[in-house]
Homo-oligomer: A and B are copies of this chain.
Amino acid sequence: MTKTRRFNLTESQMPRQWYNIMADMPNKPLPPLHPGTKQPIGPEDLAAIFPMELIKQEVATDRYIDIPEEVLEIYKIWRPTPLVRAYNLEKYLDTPAKIYYKNESVSPAGSHKPNTAVPQAYYNYKAGVKKMTTETGAGQWGSALAFATQHFNIDLKVFMVKISYNQKPYRKSMMNLWGAEVVPSPSNLTDSGRAILAKSPDSPGSLGIAISEAVEMAAKDPGTNYSLGSVLNHVLLHQTIIGLEALKQMEMADAYPDVVFGCFGGGSNFGGISFPFLGENFRNGNKTRVVAVEPASCPKLTRGQFHYDFGDTVGLTPLLPMYTLGHNFVPASIHAGGLRYHGAGAIVSQLLKDNLIEAMSVKQNETFKAGMIFAKTEGIIPAPETSHAIAAVIREAEQAKKEGKAKTILFNFSGHGIIDLAAYDKYFEGKLEDHEVTDAEIAESVKELQQLV
């Protein structure tokens, strides 16, 4: 009982402001462009689908932004979340490294996603919005937003990638339980969906298509707004409560990270854990390394191009400056559905371009092995997405052992894998593939970018 394992903040110690890295990053991200005019978009271009408060946050440069009282009250359902010292994992790896993780799996939806779902629902509610749309892949984001919207009596329609809709019924049940309507995408409800179905009636769907459907429906109905679970600046802003809490908790633990890891899909859990530590780097000259971990099968950060691209497949969003594999890139069907996205958020992309963060990729079987080790040692079963970060942490801890260095590692435990157990079965049966993209595939997929801007 001498060693403290979990560092808990009291509710009154919970941060009351989000951290906006735009205030401190050396080069600001390039502006989003209107795909027709190729000119920077203004607030009015987004007003059809987002409430003004979120549009303001998208371009805000204040260092701190107040978290509304009503949002804090709902955060208290699961926040502050624990920071945990992974003694058992350290022992198993026989490493001199000190490993800490921020456990975001304790939220109602089982991941970090409600951190932004709640404020997004709140700002829409304050703007009088009664109906919202969104997309979801495996269901993590859709269930988080369903949890959030029902608190504010907003009707939610979720376009769920069809293959997941059929294969992962539990997330659909969760969304239904929280009052959302779930539609398999591509659907007949939108022009985008109908166009895809006309070409390929058996399309399994993709995140990019589902985004197109959700955006289209919101854009066409003045009473309906849209919500995105990653990529955008305001989404990452809301997620910084993870890192802000972790900063306080590392202090409680009398430690400070030499390196911070987060898995990477669009950037929301990664930005959430790392931006506050990057802020310390920028303002105070700290030298914490920050590493984004992506799947080898969807390597936009490590092998993509820095270019303007659409956020969706059909091309309904503004053009965003990002590391991308091209908006028509179809990632292999790995189990980490939340990481199967062609692009990266504008802030993260700029930071990577400026060499202020690092990126690496790992293959699927290595991530499941890491997840299994974590479940056996630390007790919690990680989501396949989260296991990407864990795989990187294990590599780092093994390196620390080789070097005999007692470095301090922090990572974000972004979600649990209790609804992903079938994927673990496949791992144990040796049936998981290690997809890797060829150079030719990437070259083909990024060709379209040259025509955009």
Contacts and interface: CB of A to CB of B under 8 A. Distances in A.
A51 to B, nearest CB: 23
Q: Assembly of this chain: how many copies? A: 2
Contacts of A78: 379
Interface stretch (A23-31, A354-362, A414-422): A414-422
Contacts of A73: 1
Interface in A1-23: 1, 4-6, 8, 10-12, 14, 16
A11 B177 CA distance: 34
Contacts of A107: 379
A4 B11 CA distance: 7
Contact of A174 (B10, B169, B174, B421): B421
A170 B421 contact: yes
A179 interface: yes
Contact of A379 (B4, B69, B147): B147
A109 to B, nearest CB: 9
Given A12-B1, A106-B106, A173 B376 contact: no
A429 to B, nearest CB: 10
A365 interface: no
A98 B43 CA distance: 46
B376 A170 contact: no
Given A147-B379, A379-B108, A1 B11 contact: yes
Contact of A177 (B14, B173, B381): B381
Nearest to A14: B1
Interface string A258-289: 00000000000000000000000000000000
B1 A69 contact: yes
Given A1-B12, A10-B8, A375 B421 contact: no
A170 B108 CA distance: 19
B150 A376 contact: yes
A376 B108 contact: no
Nearest to A8: B8
In terms of DSSP, what is the predominant structure of the interface of chain A?
helix
A372 B170 contact: no
Contacts of A147: 379
B421 A381 contact: no
A4 B5 CA distance: 23
A64 interface: no
Interface residues of A, number: 45
Interface in A343-361: none
A401 to B, nearest CB: 23
Contacts of A108: 375, 379-381
Contacts of A379: 77-78, 107-108, 147
A110 interface: yes
A72 interface: yes
A411 to B, nearest CB: 17
Contact of A424 (B110, B150, B173, B424): B173
A178 B375 contact: yes
A165 to B, nearest CB: 14
Contacts of A424: 173, 176-177
A425 interface: yes
Interface in A406-434: 418-419, 421-422, 424-425, 428
Contacts of A106: 106
A108 B105 CA distance: 11
A155 interface: no
Contact of A72 (B1, B110, B173, B376): B1
A76 interface: yes
Nearest to A10: B8
| Top 9 closest pairs, chain A to chain B, by CB | A108-B379, A173-B421, A77-B379, A5-B76, A170-B421, A173-B425, A8-B8, A418-B418, A177-B424
19 contacts: A1-B14, A5-B76, A5-B77, A8-B10, A77-B378, A78-B379, A108-B375, A108-B381, A110-B418, A170-B421, A170-B422, A173-B425, A174-B381, A177-B381, A177-B421, A178-B376, A179-B376, A418-B419, A419-B419
Given A169-B425, A174-B418, 4 more contacts: A1-B12, A108-B379, A177-B421, A419-B419
